[in-house]
Structure 1
Amino acid sequence: MKTSAVMALAFASTVTSSVVAQDRSEWPSNFTVGTASQGGTYFAYGSGWANFVADNLDVSGGAEITGGPMQNMALVHTGDLKFGLTTMGPAQESIDGSSPLAPGMKMDNACAMFPMYETPFSVTALSSSGITSISDIPDGATIGFGPAGSTSDTYFPRIMETLGVDFERRNGSWSDLGGQLQDGLIDVVAFAAGIPIPAVSQLEVQTDVTIIGMTKEEAKKVTEEFPVSEFMIPASTYQSLSEPSRVVSMWNFAIANCDVPESFVYEITRLTMENNDKMVSIHKAAQNSVPENYTKNQVLPWHPGAARWFNENGYTIEEANIAQ
């Protein structure tokens, strides 16, 4: 038997023995993870993660295309989806009852499971446009901001306004907006997604693009105004980058409906947090999907199952921060 096959069997055996020890009587027969549009990191990460969980816990599961973090908060809160992916900014607005999808509804039945990665906010233009900085974006430029209600659509227009950019707004999936950029139908795309963004990687294979960062002054202005922090996109992320690109970013977390059985969420959290190499093989952004980043959640209550795994493994989550 080949070494890889032996390792696979050993891994499967380890997972199975742990799961068998759990009481599965209350586990759902299937689950769905809310992601975002195709061409974005959420869809790639969420689809791969759902399949990884389904294969190893022997529960039917998959991903669903959604409008992104804001809609995922609503779908998970109501129980229409058991799991989803969200960003801290939209999560805070949803919990506060200020989501544009359901104004006044406090979406407090969505619980944190584990940290995913940071979402950098970056701008991409065709090299032929001559746009090499945010200040180069001409007045009245058409900017693609991603799906309506996404993290990018929620924050990037306000960021652009803060930086003095005058623009026409365009929404759509990342793949669709990438195609529109390539065809000259829009001037730039304002991406907010984990890196590398599939749509950008695809674009730079097909045409010459410029990935636009922020100046120190621009980044400082934005971090003072929004729940983001400065972030450097490594030059190795894209072929089009010759040096690191300064932008801003926001953290993402996987979420579960707070009523999903504790033992099920415990097993999913354990599987995910203890197999980072498998997660990185799904998407490179998962390099940051490690337990140490649990402190990046200052917004969502923790699911009891997830909190149990973290507390058992030396990461302290106080009782007051765990959903009851």
Structure 2
Amino acid sequence: MRIRHTATAATAAAALLALSACGNGDGDGGGDADYTEDLTFATGGTGGAYYPLGGELSSIFESETDASVNYVESGGSVDNLGQILQGDAQLAMTQNDTAADAVNGDLDISEDGEDEEFITVDNLGWIANLYPEAMHIVVTEDSGIESIEDLDGQTIAVGDVGSGTRAISDAILEHYDIDYTAEETEFGDSTEMLADGQIDASMFVVGVPVASLTQLAETTDVSLLSLEDSDAEEIAADGFYEAYTIESDAYGFLEEDVTTLSVFAALVASTDEVSEDLAYDITAALFDNIDQITVDQGASIDIEEAFNGLGDIPLHPGAQRYFEENDIEVP
């Protein structure tokens, strides 16, 4: 496997490696509480769902709490959790599997995916699950690629260095024993590269449907590769994933359902810098104003599903108090 980084990916990798060098790999990253109401909200790339959803949530949180919230583009889940650890962000979007790795000391921030560099994020508090995220494996119709096996020898965008997509991409490609050249870049850039013929396939984990893929399909004939049901179940059993079906009506170009893997997108907050009271208010603002969210993924936000994917990730004390006061059973 050969890896080529984009400038964005290389920058994210450098930041994460610098984070490791600061001595936080031993789990001592959490410090004394220094609460603030001036919040930076780390989201994701502009081509995915995290960024627009983060923008709408920021507006809601600003109008419903005493906090000011600045949402920013980022490299994705790993990058976001690193920012929480370092105090560069106080709110973040993340995949639940990546957050689980972070709190268990298994968050791998190595640049090449081989020379392992692990950190522990010990100042992380779960606010709520937001929606399921599905792996999309996109190819062009004229590529001749019709199955996962056909990806052998191809150049594939496997997610940004600071995203949670990379782990799932690796799990799928390793399961099928695919030899490939990896392009590490964010989702929006990868769709442009696919349309321009710079790569052969793009893999990304995002809520269904995602506008950027719909827009790509308006100018480029594309298709989604499907996993065998048995393979999806086997890969899911070995990781923090679930087998998932992208329904045929999710995108206009689909003619049949697509079997893939999914994780959950979650909202998390720093326990060092976001007080219990503010986290309580943010949780209340989220569930009291779901009807104000216009992006498609907002339809999946449900208080009854707030703990999907939680596992052993700690709840933020403020979120826990909110759920208990609203008679939602806390795991």
Q: TM-score, structure 2 length as denominator?
A: 0.82
- SS of residue in 2 equivalent to 1:120: strand
> Structure 1: which 5+ runs fail to align?
1-25, 319-324
State the 1:132 CA deviation. Answer: 2.5
Kindly provide the amino acid, as one letter, of the partner of residue 285 in structure 1. Answer: Q
Higher relative contact order (CA 8 A, sep 6+): 2
In the TM superposition, 1:32-47 aligns within 5 A as: 32-47=40-55
Q: What's the % identity of the aligned pairs?
A: 26
Q: TM-score, structure 1 length as denominator?
A: 0.84
What is the aligned counterpart of 1:269 among 272, 283, 293? 283
Q: Distance in 2 between matches of 1:187 and 1:178?
A: 10
- SS of residue in 2 equivalent to 1:311: helix
Does structure 2 conserve the Cα–Cα contact (< 8 Å) formed by 1:211 and 1:240? no
Q: Which residue of 1 aligns with 2:214?
A: 201
State the 1:199 CA deviation. Answer: 2.4
Q: Which residue of 2 aligns with 1:251?
A: 264
Does structure 2 conserve the Cα–Cα contact (< 8 Å) formed by 1:27 and 1:264? no
In the TM superposition, 1:124-139 aligns within 5 A as: 124-137=138-151, 139=152
Does structure 1 conserve the Cα–Cα contact (< 8 Å) formed by 2:100 and 2:311? no
In the TM superposition, 1:1-324 aligns within 5 A as: 28-57=36-65, 59-101=67-109, 103-137=117-151, 139-259=152-272, 260-279=274-293, 281=294, 283-296=295-308, 297-317=310-330
Kindly provide the amino acid, as one letter, of the partner of residue 173 in structure 2. Answer: M
State the 1:104 CA deviation. Answer: 4.6
Change (3 A) 1:86 1:245: same
Q: Distance in 1 between matches of 2:144 and 2:118?
A: 44
Kindly provide the amino acid, as one letter, of the partner of residue 96 in structure 1. Answer: N
Q: Distance in 2 between matches of 1:104 and 1:244?
A: 37
**Cα-to-partner distance string for 1:206-231 (whole Å, 9 max, x where unaligned):** 11110222121221221122211111
Q: Which has the larger Rg?
A: 1
Q: Distance in 1 between matches of 2:219 and 2:64?
A: 37
Does structure 2 conserve the Cα–Cα contact (< 8 Å) formed by 1:35 and 1:63? yes
Does structure 1 conserve the Cα–Cα contact (< 8 Å) formed by 2:130 and 2:306? no
Q: CA RMSD in A?
A: 1.8
More helix by share: 1
Does structure 1 conserve the Cα–Cα contact (< 8 Å) formed by 2:43 and 2:93? yes
**Cα-to-partner distance string for 1:229-251 (whole Å, 9 max, x where unaligned):** 11111222211112222111011
**Cα-to-partner distance string for 1:256-288 (whole Å, 9 max, x where unaligned):** 001311111111111111222223x1x211222
